[in-house]
Amino acid sequence: MSPRRNRPRGGEKPIGSPDEDRADRYGLESTQSWRGEEWVVRQVGGGAAAKHYRCPGCDQEIPPGVPHVVAWQQHSGVDDRRHWHKSCWNARDRRSAKLQRSRNAPKY
């Protein structure tokens, strides 16, 4: 007896637009208001997080595979995206504007 197949055998492609596939891969986007400006916020799952990022809220590293939030101003470019821990993004109003770094901390 051969093993059971859990995968479809091919044939028909799933119905959906490329935009729907993009939303599944990168997470759902929403718009939030912060400091009088509109921000686009995207939830990134752990499987889609493949690089190291530096959270601007706590100045700590976000390692690969950790779910987090990507936020940028609505009318700014792609280069202005920032990767935040979810808890840091939710506490962004309670954080001070000036971050304290130790002497040996990296500046990226």
Is pLDDT larger for residue 35 or for residue 107? 35
pLDDT tens digits, one per residue of 3-54: 777 766 665 555 554 444 444 455 678 888 888 888 899 999 888 888 899 9
Token reading at 106: 């990296």
The whole-chain average pLDDT of the chain stands at 77
The rounded distance, in Å, linking the Cα atoms of 50 and 80 is 19
Say if residue 61's pLDDT is above 90: yes
**Residues in contact with 54: Cβ distance below 8 Å, sequence separation at least 6, in sequence order:** 60, 61, 62, 83, 108
pLDDT at 52: 93
**Strand boundaries in the chain, DSSP class E:** 29-34, 37-44, 53-54, 61-62, 68-73, 82-84
**Residues in contact with 34: Cβ distance below 8 Å, sequence separation at least 6, in sequence order:** 92, 93
Give the pTM. Answer: 0.62
Average pLDDT over residues 52-67: 91
pLDDT tens digits, one per residue of 64-88: 999 999 999 888 877 889 999 999 9
Runs of H (alpha helix) within 61-108:
86-90
